[in-house]
Structure 1
């Protein structure tokens, strides 16, 4: 998927993992991208989600899709109210940091409860709450503004800022209290408290990458993963963004086949030149 906007371009792909193809499990990743413009103000909202893969999370593909759809809606609401109407960047940043995690968890859980009611209308409230676990999903979000990046992460996954000098910045670090494949997610108790939130100034020419952990887990180490991420920008410069977008699904399938076996979803935002 390729799109061009006044503020930049995006490419994205969501590929079913090799192990899921072999076992006939659905892809449990999801992504969403939305652009919004009011007068001369423009933004792009990005979201990537990774539904939990265990059998007890058998509806996680829906949880992931709900998450990304609702996330971009919430991001654009913040943009409209605080950036456009209030015209206060400090207020905008403060409300994003303090309010977005709570609102996102609340609207997602309300949406899931509605889906449970549709599927099983005779369940009690307590039984419906217990069903939330089946929809478990992580979530990465970004709101790209002309001068700022508003970033959020709940659970695993990767977000990279790719600089023009070849440098790479990881806005968020793994929680040292989590062991193995454990992760926080939208179904965690007090999930809003486990969000990581950052606001950073954009650097000229930088790109932003969001990906589910199926991609980074396909590489031997972090250095190789970061090298792949930068190679995408090199290929864009050499062959054009359209050519890279067309090849992206095949590349992701290759890495899943040879590496993690997991679903892989990737979004890259780049600055138009």
Structure 2
């Protein structure tokens, strides 16, 4: 692969995170959404010296008073004639993030959900393909094909392939694209090519939001570089409600190909990640995800693997916690603070692991507030509470019977 300002060659590709440098979160209606992910080079690519040709991008955006969550994943094809597909996948996720933003602006002008649905099914795919091709042309203008690339291509596929690429340079950048957009009103799923989107309910049941594409046979896939790419997208728009998924996972096909042909084996990762998030919190998944993916690739497909996760939780529990901490802030009576601490301990025991980090963040902010008021006793009480929470989280993790007996299922 030729040098490129956005092509990655490291074992773990740096995600294009539009807002935060780590996982992002936003409050959306009655829910707090958090999104994270990782992209890991495949073990076969490590052995052959190829770069990671997957890409991932996400954003949790609360600007403009309308909270939205974007997640995009892409898989560059990696075949000989797709020798810039690692660049193509990076362009793909950036394009989808841009077009999600444009789509939301257009949604504000629509008068009904049916018109939004029509925009998602008819206009959005055209705009994604148009945006991707425009960015590819821009990259090619700044980084023309070089003789070394043509020589490598000729050595693998013969000199005649050069004419094919010169006639249709998009082939060199071929990539899939998958994405999820969450707004206060709806969830939009969109996909072109192989890869998987899984939805997990609050009880851990796993489902697939999009129909199977019968054209995806063996190693064949639809692609952004196809002439009629816009017509090959699959989309689904559903209203946001309490019945919406509690977790959504998007992965490239390197993950599902690491499992036997039976979909049930692969689908189990959905319930396992959901259980892990509830047991240990999303921070734990975020920390260990690159290792999970690397291990899965080594034991399975050997391909690059990328996984993005969106997790929601109700604001109800955290709102109650925030009110208690606010009451602590309004008193200088240490005895009342101690009483509040006891109530908070009860709440912590009842809370899921994914609430503990937010709990610590809120109380740490209050400790700083106390310190600024020169109330050392209350500041120390708040700091002590953070320690209590940490201990409680360890007790919770060890006392509950975990359904996860290994890091994450691989095969």
Residue in 2 aligned with 1:261? 302
Distance 1:157 1:230 in 2: 18
Distance of 1:129 and 1:66 partners within structure 2: 21
Partner of 2:137: 113
Assess, with a 3 A threshold, how the Cα gap between structure 1 residues 127 and 265 changes in structure 2: closer, same or farther: closer
Relative contact order (alpha carbons < 8 A, sep ≥ 6): 1 or 2 greater?
Answer: 1
Q: Distance in 2 between matches of 1:176 and 1:97?
A: 19
Residues 1:92 and 2:116 are matched in the alignment: yes
Structure 1 residue runs without a partner (length 5+):
none
1:39 CA drift (Å):
4.4
Asked if structure 2 preserves the Cα contact closer than 8 Å seen for 1:214 and 1:261, the reply is: yes
State the Cα deviation string for residues 96-152 of structure 1 (Å, max 9, x = none). 211011111111111111111222299xxx975522101000000111112321111
User: Kindly tell me: are residues 165 and 30 of structure 1, through their superposed partners in 2, closer, same or farther at Cα, counting changes over 3 Å?
Assistant: same
| Structure 2: unaligned runs, 5 residues or longer | 1-21, 147-163, 315-411
Are 1:226 and 2:267 an aligned pair? yes
Q: Distance in 1 between matches of 2:267 and 2:202?
A: 13
- Partners of 2:279 and 2:143 lie apart in 1 by 50
- For 1:184, which of 214, 222, 232 is the aligned residue? 222
1:159–1:171 CA contact under 8 A, matched in 2: yes
Question: 2: distance between equivalents of 1:104 and 1:28?
Answer: 19
Asked if the contact 2:198–2:209 (Cα under 8 Å) also holds between the matched residues in 1, the reply is: yes
- C-alpha separation between the residues in 2 aligned to 1:71 and 1:166? 29
Greater Rg over alpha carbons, structure? 2
Between the aligned partners of 1:75 and 1:37, the Cα distance in structure 2 is 14
Call closer, same or farther: CA 1:116–1:40 in 2, change over 3 Å. Answer: closer
Distance 1:229 1:130, change over 3 A: same
Q: Is the 8 A contact 2:194 2:216 kept in 1?
A: no
* 1:197-228 C-alpha deviation (Å, 9 max, x unpaired): 11113425521111101011111231121112
Deviation at 1:52, TM superposition (A): 0.4
Would you say the 8 A contact 1:113–1:129 is kept in 2?
no
Instruction: Map 1:1-273 to 2 at 5 A.
Output: 1-7=22-28, 8-83=33-108, 85-86=109-110, 88-120=112-144, 129-202=167-240, 203-204=243-244, 206-220=246-260, 221-273=262-314
Cα pair 1:78 1:92 within 8 Å, conserved? no
CA contact (8 A) 2:68 2:183 kept: yes
- Contact 1:14–1:29 (CA<8 Å) still a contact in 2? yes
1:153, 1:204 → 2: CA distance? 19
Q: Distance in 2 between matches of 1:248 and 1:127?
A: 37
Aligned length: 269
The structure in which a higher percent of residues are helix is: 2
TM-score, normalised with respect to structure 1 = 0.92
Higher mean alpha-carbon deviation, 197-206 vs 66-75, is at: 197-206
CA drift at 1:38? 4.3
| CA shift in 2, pair 1:204/1:113, >3 Å | closer
Q: When the two structures are superposed, what TM-score results if normalisation uses the length of structure 2?
A: 0.62
